[in-house]
Amino acid sequence: MNKMPMELTHAQWGECMSLPGMGYTRICHLMESYVNQEPKGDYDGFLVWLRSGAYRKANLQPRVCPQSVMERLVRGLEALPKYREELKKTEERGIRVITLADQDYPDSFRYLADPPPILYVIGKLPNEVNIKSSIAMVGARLCSEYGRYVARNYGAFFGEHGIGVISGMADGIDAISQNAAMLRGGYSLGILGCGVDICYPTSNRALYERLIHEGGVMSEVPPGTEPKKGYFPLRNRLISALADAVLIVEARKRSGTLITADCALEQGKDVFAVPGRLNEALSAGCNRLIYQGAGIALSPEQVLEDLYGRGKEDSETYEQLSFETEEADFLAEDVCVPPKTLAVLIEEALSLVPKNPEELYREVIPLTPEDITFPMFIRELQKLVLDGTAARVAGNYIRRSPT
């Protein structure tokens, strides 16, 4: 637990943090040195100590506070009045400013090696909402239909069952999961790599609006900051810190998503990954995580059980997230199996990977007893679209998901 060398209001604390080059370590060091020199000093005295150059007399560690940095810092003191004005405006806009010193500050961040000194929040934090816990859901931006289906499923389930979904509001898996949760009346928090008042990417405007009104949006960079590449890995550590566990839905062998998994491991959080086919690049990262010891995510129920429930003793109850099939799980050996109809053969050939009709045709005709022409085939295929078993994506056919 970090203790402040001085008692500051959150406004004063915020001011310090806004100074150029000021980070958590540096601030503490400076304040300690100041307090050593002037045990009774207060915040204003601290500022004077800095401005007047009196700090040079204190024994500052050159590593922590090198000369050049200090000079820049002192010059930055000029900008303080402007900062105070900005802060007022921010608060007027309904953006909450929460500092390390505040009660509201999420406890899970305090344990980080580099906790964000100031947080900007619109909406509600997880501990202010009636949810049991939260799970982070992250994944590839350019996801597949399979990833879309899984993310939607889990997001919806969590939303319905009082589990918050924390993510980064990025395209693809992030946004799909968050949308799914919110559309079912659940709670979601988006941690951004830009200022909380900026909606990035712009294609997620609708989600952003939902989050600021019914969920929450958070950032450690000040409002108005444009998104920058460097901010995204940083906010990933916050995503994993705030959640109880991290669920990776789809990730390539080398991807930004795996950074979040690393952060989670460093923070001692549970990591779950959704398995996938061996020839799908988007499942390579997830499968690898499972190999390295991450939990396997077979269904939302199972993930929650693993996290909060009895544990893995009753493995028969874990059913894979699957489609409703009425077929019996086994066939008695002496029962005569009738040849499958074309419709059934086609249905079995469909999967969550989009397939060209020509491809499907080639897969199915070796299995049919009679000659099936292409027109006959496509009619059956379209019948499956009619009754909801199949869906079309860019001219290809996939198995339709129940949700």
Q: How many helices and strands in the chain, by DSSP H and E? A: 16, 11
Applying CB under 8 A, does 275 fall inside the site for other proteins? no
Select 31 or 217, whichever has its Cβ closest to other proteins: 217
- Smallest distance from other proteins to CB 154, Å: 15
Q: What is the distance between the alpha carbons of residues 153 and 401, in angstroms, rounded to a whole number?
A: 9
φ, ψ of residue 28 in degrees (nearest 5): -60, -45
Q: Is the dihedral of CA 113, 119, 124, 127 positive or negative?
A: positive
Q: What is the distance between the alpha carbons of residues 396 and 144, in angstroms, rounded to a whole number?
A: 13
Applying CB under 8 A, does 311 fall inside the site for other proteins? no
Q: What is the distance between the alpha carbons of residues 218 and 233, in angstroms, rounded to a whole number?
A: 15
Select 337 or 386, whichever has its Cβ closest to other proteins: 386
Applying CB under 8 A, does 286 fall inside the site for other proteins? no
Angle at 271 between CA 284 and CA 310, to 5 degrees: 125
Applying CB under 8 A, does 288 fall inside the site for other proteins? no
Applying CB under 8 A, does 392 fall inside the site for other proteins? yes
**CB within 8 Å of 105: residues ≥ 6 apart:** 98, 99, 119
Stretch that binds other proteins, among 13-21, 255-263, 304-312, 358-366 (CB under 8 A): 358-366
3-state SS string for 162-198: CEEEEECCCCCHHHHHHHHHHHCCCCEEEECCCCCCC
Per-residue mark of binding to other proteins, 189-228 (x: CB under 8 A): --------------xx--x---------------------
Strand, coil or helix: 97: strand
Applying CB under 8 A, does 401 fall inside the site for other proteins? no
Applying CB under 8 A, does 148 fall inside the site for other proteins? yes
Select 89 or 362, whichever has its Cβ closest to other proteins: 362
Per-state percent for the chain, helix, strand, coil, to nearest 5: 45, 10, 40
The DSSP bridge pattern shows strands 118-123 and 216-219 to be antiparallel
Pick from 88, 93, 228, 362: which binds other proteins (CB under 8 A)? 362
Select 270 or 280, whichever has its Cβ closest to other proteins: 280
The DSSP bridge pattern shows strands 188-191 and 216-219 to be parallel
Per-residue mark of binding to other proteins, 154-183 (x: CB under 8 A): -----------------xx--xx--x----
Applying CB under 8 A, does 338 fall inside the site for other proteins? no
Subset of residues 117 to 146 that bind other proteins, contact rule: CB under 8 A: 141-145
Residue type for 27, please? I
Applying CB under 8 A, does 256 fall inside the site for other proteins? no
Select 10 or 141, whichever has its Cβ closest to other proteins: 141
- Smallest distance from other proteins to CB 378, Å: 4
Applying CB under 8 A, does 287 fall inside the site for other proteins? no
Q: Give me the residue label for tokens 């503490």.
A: 28
Select 77 or 281, whichever has its Cβ closest to other proteins: 281
Residues forming contacts to other proteins in the complex (CB under 8 A) are 141-145, 148, 171-172, 175-176, 179, 203-204, 207, 279-282, 354, 356-359, 361-362, 373-375, 378-379, 381-383, 385-388, 392-396
